[in-house]
Amino acid sequence: MLLFNTQALSNSLAESKNSSMLSRHFIIDCSGLTFVDCMGVSTLKEVYSEMRSRGILVYFAAAKAAVRELFESSGFYSFVAKENFYPTMRDAVAIARKRQQV
């Protein structure tokens, strides 16, 4: 699933509530992000909270240094621990698969 803005992400999240598909892991590929404004941070917090309320583990992958700095300055890391961030999609998928087996 490829989402380009906060509205598309919010709409997709709402649609997934009605889905019968069971997921335990949700990976957000941050590699395409070059900037995140306060609306983006707010939406990511909303997605994180919604997924966690459903018992779904959330991972962030491949965030560029500039985006990580924006997350730091916005206080995002006080809401989502840095342990949920992985340097690559491959790393995030590997940890999700490992946790799936437990």
pLDDT in tens, 25-61: 999 999 999 999 999 999 999 999 999 999 999 999 9
Transcribe 47-67 into DSSP letters.
Answer: HHHHHHHTT-EEEEE---HHH
CB 88 within 8 A of CB 98: no
CATH of domain 23-101: 3.30.750.24
pLDDT for residue 23: 77
pLDDT in tens, 59-88: 999 999 999 999 999 999 999 999 999 999
